[in-house]
């Protein structure tokens, strides 16, 4: 399995996400299928629970999900230029009556804090945050680790409930998360680490 984990790391970490699909085609089919399948399940669960507006800032781990969002005509998807902008878009979508989801990497938690306080929490806005948790085991890029360690304490300080997603079966929890945001009247976050995207049980 050592060989397989190296291969997974190589594919998940070193392979650039590419909108023209050349990078994806370079992946062995079984891995491509795993990430795509989990992303599909994630989107199905989100939509089943009412999510219909998505703002996203890219991450390699979220590439397949963002690709699905881009091609899904039943929802609105806006690529945001940074996480704060995405939060503003989600706030507007909620005011208009939609159920918004912000898709982003955990590094963005560092730049979004002020607006989480003064917009999302101040106005009690239910926004589901799908956050890839980089810098967790499986990560190959050292600079991702410090922010990775700070994410949970930061969310604690801000007062955003978060839930680790570290097994692909956790995909089922995401629907309840959307509902929980409505009940809690505030943003709630899923932290999707590397293990979440693996197929082994």
Partner 1 sequence: MSQYRRYELLQDLAPVMVDQALIVCNIGFPSQELYAIQDSPKNFYMLGSMGLSSSIGLGLAQTLAKKEAPQTVISIDGDGSVLMNLGTLSTIGNYAPSNYILLLVDNGAYGSTGDQPTHTSGKTDLAAIARAGGTAQVHVSHEAETVEVMKQCLSNAGPHVIVAKVSPGSPKLQPVPFDPGYIRDRFRFEIT
Give the footprint of partner 1 on this chain (CB under 8 A): 53, 55, 76, 78-82, 84-98, 100, 114-115, 117-119, 122-125
Closest CA to 63 of 45, 38, 84: 38
Least separation in angstroms between CB 181 and partner 1: 15
- When the beta carbons of 21 and 82 are compared against partner 1, the nearer one is 82
Least separation in angstroms between CB 97 and partner 1: 6
Do residues 40 and 68 touch, judged by C-beta distance below 8 A? yes
- When the beta carbons of 61 and 127 are compared against partner 1, the nearer one is 127
- When the beta carbons of 87 and 190 are compared against partner 1, the nearer one is 87
- When the beta carbons of 49 and 56 are compared against partner 1, the nearer one is 56
Least separation in angstroms between CB 106 and partner 1: 20
Do residues 16 and 64 touch, judged by C-beta distance below 8 A? no
For every residue of 50-98, DSSP letters joined together read T--EEEE---GGGHHHHHHHHT-TTSEEEE-SSHHHHHHHHHHHHHTT-
Do residues 167 and 196 touch, judged by C-beta distance below 8 A? yes
Matching residue, tokens 């899904």:
72
Least separation in angstroms between CB 187 and partner 1: 13
């Amino acid at each position: 399995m050592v060989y397989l984990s190296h291969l997974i790391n190589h594919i998940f970490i070193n392979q650039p996400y590419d909108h023209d699909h050349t990078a994806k085609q370079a992946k062995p089919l079984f891995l491509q299928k795993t990430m795509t399948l989990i992303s599909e399940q994630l989107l199905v669960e989100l939509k089943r629970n009412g999510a219909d507006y998505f703002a996203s800032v890219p991450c390699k781990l979220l590439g397949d999900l963002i690709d699905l969002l881009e091609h899904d005509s039943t929802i609105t998807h806006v690529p945001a230029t940074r996480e704060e902008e995405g939060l503003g878009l989600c706030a507007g979508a909620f005011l208009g009556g939609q159920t918004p989801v912000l898709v982003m990497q955990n590094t963005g938690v560092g730049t979004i804090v002020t607006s989480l306080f003064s917009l999302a929490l101040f106005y009690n806005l239910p926004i589901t945050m799908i956050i890839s948790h980089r810098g967790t085991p499986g990560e190959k890029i050292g600079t991702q680790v410090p922010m990775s360690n700070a994410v949970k304490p930061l969310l604690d300080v801000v007062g955003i409930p978060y839930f680790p997603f570290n097994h692909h079966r956790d995909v089922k929890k995401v629907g309840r998360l959307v509902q929980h945001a409505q009940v809690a009247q505030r943003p709630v976050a899923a932290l999707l680490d590397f293990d979440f995207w693996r197929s082994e049980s």
